[in-house]
Amino acid sequence: MKKIITCLLAFLGLTSACGQKMYEDVDVNKFAELVADSNIVILDVRTAEEFSDGHIERALNVDVKQGDFLEKTKVSLPADKTIAVYCRSGRRSADACDKLSTEGYKVVNLKGGIMAWTGEGRPVTKW
| Residue of 7, 18, 87, 97 with catalytic role | 87
| 7 assigned to active site | no
Phi-psi region of 33 (alpha: psi -120 to 50; beta: other; left: phi over 0): alpha
- The per-residue DSSP string of the chain comes to -HHHHHHHHHHHHHHHHHTS-SSEEE-HHHHHHHHTSTTSEEEE-S-HHHHHT-B-TT-EE--TTSTTHHHHHHHHS-TTSEEEEE-SSSHHHHHHHHHHHHTT-EEEEETTHHHHHHHTT---B--
**pLDDT value, residue 21:** 87
Q: List the chain residues with pLDDT less than 50.
A: 6-9, 12, 14-17
**pLDDT value, residue 9:** 46
**pLDDT value, residue 4:** 58
Confidence (pTM): 0.84
Where along the chain do its domains lie? 21-119
- Phi first, then psi, for residue 73 (nearest 5°) are -70, -35
CATH fold, domain 21-119, is: Oxidized Rhodanese; domain 1 (3.40.250)
